[in-house]
Amino acid sequence: MDNTYCDIPREELAELHARGHSARDIAKRLGVSSSTIDNHLLRHGIKSLTITSNYRIDIDEDQLERLYLDGYSTYALAQHFGVSNTLILKRLYARQVPMRTAKDYAKRVVL
């Protein structure tokens, strides 16, 4: 990763950030460090997401819960809804959805 300079258009950064992507997610997507994204957010005057702003992102939470309980991973759900994995996890935790463990995945392996 070359972190010396990165010209990220404000519009692209604002859109990704507004859709719930974390600085870390955006950094991975653009091939830079998360501190570079944090600096660009600050430079462009884009406020960091807070828990309250995360809830402004419209996700059908009934569908989210149903899909998760049907076996979809949080990463697949994040891609489906166009948001970050962290946001998916926060929404599932808020709804007190029982989280799967590694043992749950092992049970699904067919021998």
- Unique residue bearing structure tokens 């992102």: 57
Q: Residue 9 above 60 pLDDT?
A: yes
Locate 65 and state its tokens: 């819960």
pLDDT, tens only, 55-101: 457 788 899 999 999 989 898 998 888 888 888 998 998 889 999 88
Residue 1 in domain: no
- The answer to the question of residue 43 being in a domain is yes
Range of the structural domain that residue 26 is part of: 10-49
Q: How many CA atoms lie within 13 A of 90 on its CB side?
A: 18
Residue-wise pLDDT tens digits, 28-61 = 888 888 888 888 888 877 776 544 444 457 788 8
The answer to the question of residue 105 being in a domain is: no
Does residue 18 lie within any of the structural domains?
Answer: yes
Task: With 0.85 as the threshold, say if the pTM is over it.
Answer: no
Does 45 lie in the same domain as 71?
A: no
- Beta-carbon contacts of residue 5 (< 8 Å; ≥ 6 apart): none
CA atoms of 24 and 109, how far apart (whole Å) = 31
Q: Cα dist. 67→1, 18, 59, 80, 87 in Å?
A: 35, 23, 12, 10, 15
* pLDDT band for position 5 (cuts 50, 70, 90): low
Residues 39, 32: Cα–Cα separation, whole Å: 11
